[in-house]
Amino acid sequence: MSGRTPGNGGGRGRRARVTLRRIAEEVGTSQSTASRALAGHGYVAPEVKARVEEAAARLGYVPDISARTLKGHSSGLVGLLVSDLRNQFYAQLAAGVEQAVAAAGHQVVLVDDHGDESQAVRGARAFLSMRAAGVLLAPVGREATDLLVGHGTPVVEVDRRSGVRSCDAVTIDSERGAREAVGHLLALGHRRIAVVLDETMWATGKNRLKGYRAAHRDAGVPLSRRLVLDLGLRPADPQRDVAAFLDAHPDITAVFAANNVVAEAVWHELKRRDTAVPDRCSMVSFDDLTWMRVVEPGLTAVRQPVFEMGNRAARLLLERIEGGQGRTETRTLEPELILRGSTAAPGR
């Protein structure tokens, strides 16, 4: 199915770009008048303005952002750095960001660092290079944040905080979500609850573990280090690790999976070994994805307002860009425990 390249309208026709000057000539006025007419501010005779607008429309004029940017204004581009767009979590986040940014008439430049800090830094450099009006950072690592903040670019961290001062953040209260989830299991009578994470270095993993501990403290149930399984970021075969862990700890009656990735591994492993859920083993996930409400039994999960988080973060950034030089702030959104069929009293 190959096509021809038609003579004009289509194709390669690298016909001369229509510039302000061209329009000015067309209308018989000066470039600056044309600029003012189109920009809308500054005085222009209505009649001239109309003629300029007509010519612009007729010729298909498209303003050149680079020229405008070069002149001093920022590019109006908002950078978004995520660490894995294939993960539904980040996709939702990006969707929330995109929506708010588009509503403000800007565009999102998306970079996926695949969890690799050097990629993140390259992304940050690219944002700097294009004079992004601001940047949203969702990945781990603080080098990118440092670089951007050091150059005076407004930054908002999303979901994770790198610890860099003077930078806003929007997060979800991981500790509280975890505490509620594990508290729910404890209230049902579970006493040997495993927690599976893929990192405990960054705010998210760390706080979820903290919440797990806090819940035990609340309930006066002693903690056991052996019930903590940290798979590490990007484990080769998480399900196998979960399997080994479950084999080693047959006394476990419930599992708290600290995010959607580990939840999937845990779920598959439970299914593989035909463990009755919740009769034989209860399960709670942190992060509530489509599949969790579609499986049988539905997964009890901590729902995070992910889209909302992206949206709020973007709006905060936009405010900051507009001029807010005030104190930096951290906004925290609340997660919500959704009870479904995967949790019940132990030992039934």
Binding of residue 150 to DNA (CB under 7 A): no
Sign of CA dihedral 315, 318, 320, 322: negative
**Residue 337 CA from chain centroid, whole number:** 21
278 cis-preceded (ω within 30 degrees of 0): yes
CB of 176 to a copy of itself, least distance (A): 15
Binding of residue 1 to a copy of itself (CB under 8 A): yes
Residue 19 binds which one of a copy of itself, DNA, none, with CB within 5 to 8 A depending on kind?
A: DNA
Binding of residue 333 to a copy of itself (CB under 8 A): no
Residue 233 binds which one of a copy of itself, DNA, none, with CB within 5 to 8 A depending on kind?
A: none
Cβ atoms of 287 and 301 closer than 8 Å: yes
Cα distance between residue 280 and residue 218, in whole Å? 25
Helix (H), strand (E), coil (C) string for 168-215: EEEEECHHHHHHHHHHHHHHCCCCCEEEEECCCCCHHHHHHHHHHHHH
Binding of residue 163 to a copy of itself (CB under 8 A): no
- Binds DNA by CB under 7 A, chosen from 6, 13, 58, 73: 73
Residue 30 binds which one of a copy of itself, DNA, none, with CB within 5 to 8 A depending on kind?
A: DNA
Binding of residue 39 to DNA (CB under 7 A): yes
Binding of residue 5 to a copy of itself (CB under 8 A): yes
Binding of residue 283 to a copy of itself (CB under 8 A): no
The dihedral formed by the CA atoms of 295, 301, 307 and 313, expressed in degrees to the nearest 10: -160
Q: In the window 46-65, what residues touch DNA (CB under 7 A)?
A: 46, 48-49, 61, 63-64
Q: In the window 92-121, what residues touch a copy of itself (CB under 8 A)?
A: 92, 94-95, 98-99, 102, 107-112, 119
Written as one letter, the residue type at 301 is A
CB of 152 to a copy of itself, least distance (A): 5
Instruction: Using alpha carbons, select from 248, 241, 266 the residue that is nearest to residue 256.
Output: 266
Tokens of 307: 């889209």
Please give the backbone phi and psi of residue 160, each rounded to the nearest 5 degrees, phi first: -130, 150
- Binds a copy of itself by CB under 8 A, chosen from 70, 187, 248, 276: 70
Residue 48 binds which one of a copy of itself, DNA, none, with CB within 5 to 8 A depending on kind?
A: DNA
DSSP states of 78-91 as a string?
EEEEES-TTSHHHH
Cα distance between residue 73 and residue 64, in whole Å? 13
Q: Which residues pair with 112 in a beta bridge?
A: 82
Binding piece for a copy of itself, criterion CB under 8 A, among 60-68, 176-184, 214-222, 278-286: 60-68
Residue 236 binds which one of DNA, a copy of itself, none, with CB within 5 to 8 A depending on kind?
A: none
- Binds a copy of itself by CB under 8 A, chosen from 19, 221, 249, 291: 291
Please give the residue ranges that form the binding site for DNA (CB under 7 A): 17, 19-21, 29-33, 35-36, 38-39, 42-46, 48-49, 61, 63-64, 67-68, 70-73
